[in-house]
Structure 1
Amino acid sequence: MKEPPRSRGSGFRRLAVPAFALASVLAGCSTSSSAPSTPGSGSTTAAGSGAVAYARAQVARYEGAPTFVAPGPAFSVSKLRGKSIAVIPATSNEYDNTIETQMKAIAAQYGVHYTEYPNQGQPTQWVSSLNQAIATKPNLIILNTALDPRQVLPEVKQAKAQGIPVIATHFFDQTYSSTLKTSCGAPASLCAAGLTATVNAPFDLATKIESDWIIADSNANAHVLVITANDAAPTAGMVSAAKAEFGQHCPACQVTVANVLVSEWTSKIPTLVQTALARDPNLHYVLPVFDFGAPYAANGVALAGKTGQVKIVSYNGTQSVLAMVENHSSVALDVGEPLDWLAYAFMDQAFRVLAGVAPAADEHTPFRVFTAANVAATGTPPTVTGGYGNAYIQGYQSLWQH
């Protein structure tokens, strides 16, 4: 999969030439590094103290339960009963399945028929699923949880030709989408092809906050391994956000980016991390851009014999990874998305399209920073709704008027 087009890339500061690299860590993995502009000394300079204070303030903004913000005006759902939705997820894993289970429950509550097409994340499976869905003539198709709409563009056009609206969820970054000012929240070419609406995510902001936490925790002097997957959207913007934050606020920090195909995270991340730790004894932070990779990074830390010495930070808020934070494993921080909240947000946009009202420009889906200090709010063990409050449930339901 290609990365979403991003017009803002040139605005990011380029980091310095690397002082160390993980060249040829694994066949099939590519890496790039940034070096500190001055050698790290282990102490905090005056400039570093300012950076730490800044970073702590940024993280603190997201440590509490998020607030519900209505995405748009209330509307009638009285005519939705009997309508049908076809949902094609990007893949079928714990994260996706948790969201889609709640989406199905919400649909049933309002009399909407919900059909899901499970798959293993292969574009050929997306195409096949879309063709099957179009043949059933649903009232709406959802390309769910980061399925790349550009990979199925002929099918999106086919759906449009048959009068079937299509929405895409959790694929584009919220800030990026807002800069486009298009009718569907995606590039104009996708809107023209048949994409009706989107529900976007705070990918870049979440990665920025992860970087801030590392800056604060390390006293602005960290060696960091960022693990990305160039074949999975929207990692380009996430990596750029991390580089920009470290580059601006932590000149003594050293960042290495390793690219591993998302389909190979399970098999390659443990060895990647183990090798990186052996090469750089000062590497104490590992940042897989999605927390799907956190357990495999933890395996690599264990293989290197450095459990308790290396901290993993990530993003998504998958329950099993939050449990790792709770159990004081190598995972020190997970920027959590409220998966139940996402289900409501996705269905709100779906209901708006089905009801024939204007789609929401922004569903305002939030996140919360979880560390050992506050992860107990998610429950023991963590639950899908724990830690985020429940104002969003009443908030959305008040918008869906009978």
Structure 2
Amino acid sequence: MRRTRQTTLGLIAVIAALGLTACGSDDDEPAAANGGGTTAAATAGGDGVAQAKAAVAQAERTTGVEFPQPDEAFDPGTGKVAVISCGQAGLNCKQGSDDVRTAAAAMGWKASPVFDGEFAPAKQAGYVQQALREGYDAIVLVSIDANSIKAALDAAAAKDVPVACVMCANKDFPGVIDVTSGGVADGTAIADWIAADSDGKAKLLAYDDKSFPIVAERLAAMKARLGEVCPDCTVEDASIPTTDLSKPGPPTWTAALAKYPAGKLGYVMAPYDPFAIPFTKTAEQRSRTDLKIGGYDASPDFVALIAAGNGPAKVTTAAPFPYASWGAMDQVARVKAGKQPWESTKLPVALVTAKNAAEFDEGFFSPDDFDYEALFKRLWGKS
């Protein structure tokens, strides 16, 4: 991977400060991943597991990966872009925002200082309104739920100010162009790994965090894929409040460990890596060697636990945040220049396992054989 990233635990404290709550399931036994219905894979014998194993091999690749990209060069001209971060205490939000500013400079645009949304929709909406008052030509959001700031974004659309969002799940939200994996690739890759690793017989506990729409997209994709390739796999749905991140355990997880003694579960999927880290450490402290724990977003601390290879931490996904940030800048300038946006909602992700974890110390998917900066500079006439 091309660039070094700094690990931060600030995401844990800031997400916890959101104060959102959710409740877990009370069912004692996991429900079928496909809702109990028959799938094509259910009649295919072991073919589903074979398909999953082949898919895992593909998802673990860190070179030779195809990225959706624009193919039409254009003159971006000059302009001002407002960069609004979901929260600068989060590694992905901070680095994604910094990358947007770098892309803007390469394009010849002037970027605002990063507006820190502090994981608070009211603050994020206020920055959108500020950008409109101050005459910015475009807005780039970084990992922000558009529906939570709808009125402000409606105002941007009314003024024909283009808006793009880095690594978001704002499906069909008018006026916002997502540059993202969308969550589907992430959830699908995790499902393939679970099916392959369990040889088609996983008992899985999967957590949602309702404060981030992309988590729900990942869960839906994971369960849909399991229904195809692993009809004998079972999934227990659960939710965990973000406030748990600031508490030992966390409490919802320690309750689950009591509910499911050794032998009742094999696999646990956290909503993202900042939860997967304490899940793993608590499981280790309680000698729960029967569990295999996964997450999303390739937080460097969790990747290090996977690389060690001797504990419950087994899998996560890495998203191409750097490419998404440059792509978002391209999209808003392209629209401002009267061009059509390109399809940017199905960016690839990489599956991170012990096999390739050493390649993800920076925490993002940025293949060494894909020079996205050179690509965009060429399209902008800046090479």
TMscore range, shorter length: 0.7 to 0.9
Give deviations 1:255-312, integer Å, cap 9, x for gaps.
Answer: 1111123354443863333332332222221112322322122233134322x44222
Distance between the aligned counterparts of 1:298 and 1:101, measured in 2?
A: 31
Residue 21 of structure 2 corresponds to residue 30 of structure 1: no
2:119 to 121, 138, 148: 121
Rounded to whole Å, the distance in 2 between the matches of 1:117 and 1:313 is 32
Match of 2:223 in 1: 243
Match of 2:151 among 146, 151, 154: 154
**How many Å apart are 1:129 and its aligned residue?**
1.9
Partner residue of 2:132?
134
1:91 aligned partner: 87
How far, CA to CA, are the matches of 2:365 and 2:296 in structure 1? 17
Q: Distance in 2 between matches of 1:285 and 1:375?
A: 19
Match of 2:18 in 1: none
State the secondary structure of the residue aligned to 1:255: strand
- Secondary structure of 2:266's counterpart equals strand
Q: Which residue of structure 2 aligns with residue 345 of structure 1?
A: 327
1:210 maps to a residue whose letter is: I
Q: Matches of residues 2-401 of structure 1 in structure 2 within 5 Å? A: 28-31=22-25, 34-35=30-31, 49-64=46-61, 65-69=63-67, 71-77=69-75, 79-80=77-78, 83-92=79-88, 93-115=90-112, 116-145=114-143, 147-172=144-169, 186-187=171-172, 190-191=173-174, 195-267=175-247, 270-280=250-260, 281-282=262-263, 283-306=265-288, 308-328=289-309, 329-362=311-344, 364-378=346-360, 381-382=361-362, 384=364, 387=367, 389-401=369-381
Q: Give unpaired runs (5+ residues) of structure 1.
A: 1-26, 38-44, 174-185
Which runs of 4 or more aligned residues in structure 1 lie more than 4 Å from their structure 2 counterparts after TM superposition? 45-48, 383-388
SS in 2 for 1:292: helix
Return closer, same or farther for 1:34/1:242 CA change in 2, 3 Å cut-off.
farther
Change (3 A) 1:263 1:355: farther
What's the CA shift for 1:94? 0.8
Q: Distance between the aligned counterparts of 1:314 and 1:305, measured in 2?
A: 20
Q: Which amino acid aligns with 1:84?
A: K
User: Which residue type is aligned with residue 290 of structure 1?
Assistant: Y
Instruction: Give identity over the alignment, percent.
Output: 22
Q: CA RMSD for the aligned pairs? A: 2.9
Q: 1:70 to 1:51 in 2, by over 3 A?
A: closer
Deviation at 1:226, TM superposition (A): 0.7
- CA spacing shift, 1:220–1:160, aligned 2, 3 Å: closer
> TM-score, length-normalised on structure 2?
0.80
Kindly state the Cα deviation for residue 319 of structure 1 after the two structures are TM-superposed: 3.0
Residues 30 and 204 in structure 2, CA contact (< 8 A), matched pair in contact too: no
Distance across 1 between alignment mates of 2:48 and 2:252: 30
Q: Distance in 2 between matches of 1:325 and 1:77?
A: 44
1:213-247 Cα shifts (integer Å, max 9, x gaps): 11111122222111111232033332222222333
CA distance in 2: counterparts of 1:325 and 1:366, whole angstroms: 21
Matched residue count: 346
The Cα of 1:140 is off from its aligned counterpart by 0.5
Comparing 246-255 and 83-92, the one that deviates more: 246-255
Give 5+ residue unaligned stretches, structure 2: 1-20, 34-41
Structure of greater relative contact order (alpha carbons < 8 Å, 6+ residues apart): 2
Q: CA deviation at 1:386?
A: 5.8
